[in-house]
Structure 1
Amino acid sequence: MTSLYGLLESVRGFIATGGDVLYFVAAALFLMWVLMIERYWYLLGEFPKVRKNIITSWEAREDTTSWYAHRIRDRWISQASDDLNARMLIIRTLIAMCPLIGLLGTVTGMINVFETMATQGTSNARLMASGISMATIPTMAGMVAALSGLFISSRLETRAKIARDKLIDSLPHH
């Protein structure tokens, strides 16, 4: 219990040092990771069932050589591909937004520095340091959030492409 309290205090101190923009970085990071976990869940848990159903349906067809049968096959592959790539655009958008949200923190931190300089003068370095940390920490947090999402999303896209290609290979057309 004390370690959880210490962790919460550390997070609270980090956010106080970095400013309120870190809440937006945290929200984007949370949403991004929820979507990526959902995509992994679909890819590893649900898609094998979908793939099996599509293959079973294709093999159960008597006609697999006509133009009409090939259009049905293409439709099933297209639907499976759409399902595999669902929400990937949102994930990529959140990845691109994280550094921009961090830059918003840079701007608000620098405004804080200039406000301190205007009201207190340039001689108080301690007051300016809080604004500078408020300018740098959100940028760092946004970049770290984007990098973590970039790595996982590229792995997801690769796995989705491989799963689609395996599905195509499993549906022979004569």
Structure 2
Amino acid sequence: MLVLMEIWESIRDFVGTGGQVLYVVAIALFLMWVLMIERYWFLLAEFPRLSQEIIAKWDARQDTTSWYAHRIREAWISEASEKLDQRMLLIKTLVAVCPLIGLLGTVTGMISVFETMASQGTGNARLMASGISMATIPTMAGMVAALSGVFFSSRLETKAKMVKAKLVDNMPHH
């Protein structure tokens, strides 16, 4: 319990130093990771079953050579592909937005520095340092959030393409 309290205090101090924009970065990061975990779950647990059902329906067809059969095959592959690509655009958008949210923190931190300079002059280095911390920490947090998302979202996209190619290969058209 003491460890959790220490972790909470360090997070609170970090947010206090970095400003309120860090909450927005945290929300974007949390949403991005929830969506990526859901996509991984779909790829590893749900899509194999869906793929087997589509392949079984294709293998059960008498006609696999006519124009109509090819259109049905394309439709089933398209539906599966659409399910694979669900929420990927939202994940990519969240990855792209994280650094921009960090830049918002930079702007608000610099405004704080300029307000301090205007009211206190340039002699109060301690107040200026807190504004500079508010300017740099959100930028760093936004970049770290985006970097974690870039790697895993690209892996997720590659895995989805591989699974789709495997589905297409398992539905031969004669």
- Rounded Cα–Cα distance in structure 2 between residues aligned with 1:75 and 1:152: 29
What is the correspondence of 1:23-34 to structure 2 with a 5 Å cutoff? 23-34=23-34
Structure 1 portions without partners, runs of 5+: none
- What code does the residue aligned with 1:29 have? L
Tell me, yes or no, if structure 1 residue 80 matches structure 2 residue 80. Answer: yes
Q: Which residue is 1:92 aligned to? A: 92
* CA distance in structure 1 between the aligned counterparts of 2:121 and 2:92, rounded to whole angstroms: 43
| One-letter code aligned to 1:117 | M
Question: How do 1:93-172 and structure 2 match up within 5 A?
Answer: 93-172=93-172
Equivalents in 2 of 1:79, 1:137: separation in Å? Answer: 43
3-state SS of paired residue (2:123): coil
Letter in 2 for 1:68: Y
Whole-Å separation in 1 of the counterparts to 2:94 and 2:112? 27
Q: Who is 1:21 aligned against? A: 21
Shift of 1:99: 0.3
1:10 corresponding residue in structure 2? 10
Aligned AA for 1:55? I
Mind listing any 5+ residue stretches in structure 2 that lack a counterpart? none
How far off its partner does 1:21 sit?
Answer: 0.3
TM-score by length of 1: 1.00
TM-score, normalising length: structure 2: 1.00
% identity of equivalent residues: 72
Instruction: Supply the RMSD in Å over aligned alpha carbons.
Output: 0.3
Alpha-carbon distance in structure 1 between the residues aligned to 2:84 and 2:155:
13
In structure 2, C-alpha distance between the alignment counterparts of 1:109 and 1:8, rounded to whole Å: 23
